[in-house]
């Protein structure tokens, strides 16, 4: 057992419905403090793998005062960050496409011409499981260093049964090697592979009849995702795939309306998906439907920055005002968001979407946990998993403000140190 004494602890309370409406002026900061569940001068008591107690330092349980309990002192502590949407298991890189896009070619043109995602598919098919694992380990450590304790990872660069399984097996193989949780998600319907061009239905059949049953049988993914957009799969194909996934126990998520209004977010609401991600072209009717159905909106502003599509921002404020839970994520992938920098995503959430610092920080903890339909992470409460990120910053609002560098001084995963700097030490 040990205690963290923090100048500020952010608990990320679950029910913040009454706080959704944006208030102006002086009230903004007070509202933000409530939104993050701020405790000034806090004690966070960690017992084994869980949070045992959290509250003001002066109210800490008696037993902690009398015994020689070890104390870690930090500035701002909050639930470990959750990057709830990544494509981190990939091989190769696509800097050539980056150059072409900046010279005027569009992302979807490259995809429809048989490049883009399909170029990474070639690289993943050639890669061994071991090399996929080695690269993924490095990427996990990079995320952990920033404060991440849970990383969702999608397949989707294999597009044959064996190559999709290879990617998911690499994720499973890496799990025991890294101090963060990897959440595998099956994305066999990421693109139509070249040998199925003009035979999309056959590929959808393969996903439904072979890939999903095999992934489920081997227990390699609890989530199923589909890229539902122009150049990929339409809403009816996506619905069918996600329903088959659900029959096999997988929770539905959707890459929705990133390039066009493909009616994907509406379909996500109709089937009660856990999340609809991207949403750059989602219409108002779908926003209402998502809020009613409790579909979490996962927004990834690095994509707009990286593709140069800053005129196509997702309607973040509308989603919040409608009552949707919002999550922010990196979308880390070699084509549309080559970054693992969740700290910069926080900043972009504020500058591009107009989120407050509290809303942005909620979105990579409580919001991201909701996108994964998880209760045990994303908040600091008695009983939640002891995943805690400790930052050396003057106050929590500083985190999205000073971007491009990691402020983490200690990262605790399941009650154990996953990362720490020389500045921190446990003292009696």
Q: Report the C-alpha gap between 232 and 423 in whole angstroms.
A: 48
Least distance to ligand NIG from the beta carbon of 180, Å? 21
Q: Residue 163, interface with ligand NIG (CB under 6 A)? A: no
Q: Report the C-alpha gap between 386 and 414 in whole angstroms.
A: 5
Which position among 37, 80, 115, 116 is part of the footprint of ligand NIG (CB under 6 A)? 116
Give the three-state DSSP class for 295: coil
Q: Report the C-alpha gap between 295 and 366 in whole angstroms.
A: 14
Q: Which stretch binds ligand NIG (CB under 6 A): 113-121, 211-219, 355-363, 402-410?
A: 113-121
Q: Which stretch binds ligand NIG (CB under 6 A): 12-20, 261-269, 331-339, 398-406?
A: 331-339
Least distance to Fe ion from the beta carbon of 255, Å? 5
Residue 119 touches which member of ligand NIG, Fe ion, none, C-beta under 5-8 Å by kind: none
Q: Residue 336, interface with ligand NIG (CB under 6 A)? A: yes
Q: Residue 83, interface with ligand NIG (CB under 6 A)? A: no
Give the relative orientation of helices 264-271 and 284-293 as an angle to the nearest 10 degrees.
20
Residue 8 touches which member of ligand NIG, Fe ion, none, C-beta under 5-8 Å by kind: none
Q: Under rule CB under 6 A, which residues in 246-275 are in contact with ligand NIG?
A: 255, 258
Residue placing its CB nearer to Fe ion in the complex, 164 or 331: 331
Least distance to ligand NIG from the beta carbon of 341, Å? 16
Which position among 32, 164, 257, 331 is part of the footprint of ligand NIG (CB under 6 A)? 331
Q: Residue 333, interface with ligand NIG (CB under 6 A)? A: yes
Per rule CB under 6 A, count of chain residues that contact ligand NIG: 13
Listed residue (362, 393, 418) closest to 14, CA to CA: 362
Q: Determine contact, residues 124/158, Cβ cutoff 8 Å.
A: yes
Which position among 335, 343, 357, 379 is part of the footprint of ligand NIG (CB under 6 A)? 335
Give the relative orientation of helices 161-174 and 117-126 as an angle to the nearest 10 degrees.
70
Q: Residue 303, interface with ligand NIG (CB under 6 A)? A: yes
- Cα angle vertex 390, ends 137, 337, to 5°? 45
Q: Determine contact, residues 233/222, Cβ cutoff 8 Å.
A: no
Which position among 8, 74, 120, 150 is part of the footprint of ligand NIG (CB under 6 A)? 120
Using Cβ positions, the residue closest to ligand NIG within the complex turns out to be 335
Least distance to ligand NIG from the beta carbon of 310, Å? 16
Q: Residue 117, interface with ligand NIG (CB under 6 A)? A: yes
Q: Report the C-alpha gap between 213 and 207 in whole angstroms.
A: 9
Q: Report the C-alpha gap between 232 and 234 in whole angstroms.
A: 7
Least distance to ligand NIG from the beta carbon of 426, Å? 40
Residue placing its CB nearer to Fe ion in the complex, 75 or 106: 106
DSSP H helix total and E strand total for the chain? 18, 16
What are the residues facing 150 on neighbouring strands? 82, 181
Listed residue (302, 246, 294) closest to 278, CA to CA: 302
Least distance to ligand NIG from the beta carbon of 231, Å? 9
Q: Residue 231, interface with ligand NIG (CB under 6 A)? A: no
Residue 258 touches which member of Fe ion, ligand NIG, none, C-beta under 5-8 Å by kind: ligand NIG
Residue 334 touches which member of ligand NIG, Fe ion, none, C-beta under 5-8 Å by kind: ligand NIG
Strands, DSSP E only, in 335-394? 388-391
Q: Which two tokens stand for residue 273?
A: 């998906």
Q: Determine contact, residues 259/238, Cβ cutoff 8 Å.
A: no
Residue placing its CB nearer to Fe ion in the complex, 9 or 241: 241
Residue placing its CB nearer to ligand NIG in the complex, 97 or 181: 97
Query: Which residues of the shown chain bind Fe ion in the complex (CB under 5 A)?
Result: 331
Residue 415 touches which member of ligand NIG, Fe ion, none, C-beta under 5-8 Å by kind: none
Radius of gyration of the chain (CA): 21
Which position among 81, 186, 203, 227 is part of the footprint of ligand NIG (CB under 6 A)? 227
Judged by the rule CB under 6 A, the positions of this chain that interact with ligand NIG are: 87, 116-117, 120, 227, 255, 258, 303, 331, 333-336
């Amino acid at each position: 057992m040990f205690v963290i004494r923090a100048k500020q602890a952010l608990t990320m309370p679950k029910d913040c419905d009454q706080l959704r409406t944006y208030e102006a002026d002086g009230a903004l900061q007070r509202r933000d403090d409530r939104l993050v569940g701020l405790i000034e001068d806090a004690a966070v008591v960690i017992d084994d793998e869980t949070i045992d107690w959290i509250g003001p330092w002066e109210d800490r349980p008696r037993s902690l005062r009398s015994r020689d309990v070890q104390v870690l002192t930090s500035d701002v502590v909050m639930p470990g960050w959750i990057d709830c949407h990544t494509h981190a298991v990939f091989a190769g890189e696509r800097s050539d496409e980056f150059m072409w896009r900046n010279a005027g070619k569009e992302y979807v043109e490259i995809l429809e011409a048989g490049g883009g995602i399909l170029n990474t598919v070639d690289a993943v098919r050639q890669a061994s499981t071991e090399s996929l694992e080695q690269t993924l380990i490095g990427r996990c450590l990079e995320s952990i260093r920033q404060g991440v304790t849970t990383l969702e990872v999608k397949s989707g660069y294999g597009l044959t049964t064996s190559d999709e399984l290879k990617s998911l097996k690499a994720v499973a193989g890496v799990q025991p090697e890294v101090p963060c949780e990897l959440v595998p998600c099956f994305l066999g319907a990421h693109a139509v592979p070249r040998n199925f061009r003009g035979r999309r239905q056959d590929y959808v059949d393969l996903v439904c009849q072979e890939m999903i049953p095999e992934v489920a049988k081997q227990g390699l993914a609890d989530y199923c995702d589909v890229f539902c957009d122009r150049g990929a799969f339409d809403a009816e194909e996506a619905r069918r795939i996600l329903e088959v996934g659900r029959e096999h126990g997988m929770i539905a998520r959707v890459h929705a309306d990133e390039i066009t209004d493909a009616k994907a977010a509406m379909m996500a609401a109709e089937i009660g998906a856990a999340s609809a991600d991207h949403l750059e072209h989602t219409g108002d009717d779908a926003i209402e439907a998502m809020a009613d159905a409790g579909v979490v909106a996962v927004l990834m502003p690095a994509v707009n920055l990286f593709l140069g599509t800053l005129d196509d921002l997702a309607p973040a404020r509308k989603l919040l005002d409608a009552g949707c839970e919002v999550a922010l994520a990196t979308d880390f992938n070699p084509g549309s968001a080559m970054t693992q920098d969740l700290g910069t995503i926080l900043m972009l959430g504020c500058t591009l979407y107009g989120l407050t610092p509290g809303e942005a920080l909620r979105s990579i903890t409580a919001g991201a946990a909701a996108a994964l339909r998880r209760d045990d992470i994303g908040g600091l409460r008695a009983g939640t998993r002891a995943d805690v990120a400790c930052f050396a910053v003057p106050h929590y609002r500083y985190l999205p403000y000073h971007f491009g560098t990691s402020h983490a001084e200690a990262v605790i995963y399941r009650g154990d140190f996953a990362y720490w700097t020389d500045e921190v030490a446990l003292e009696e």
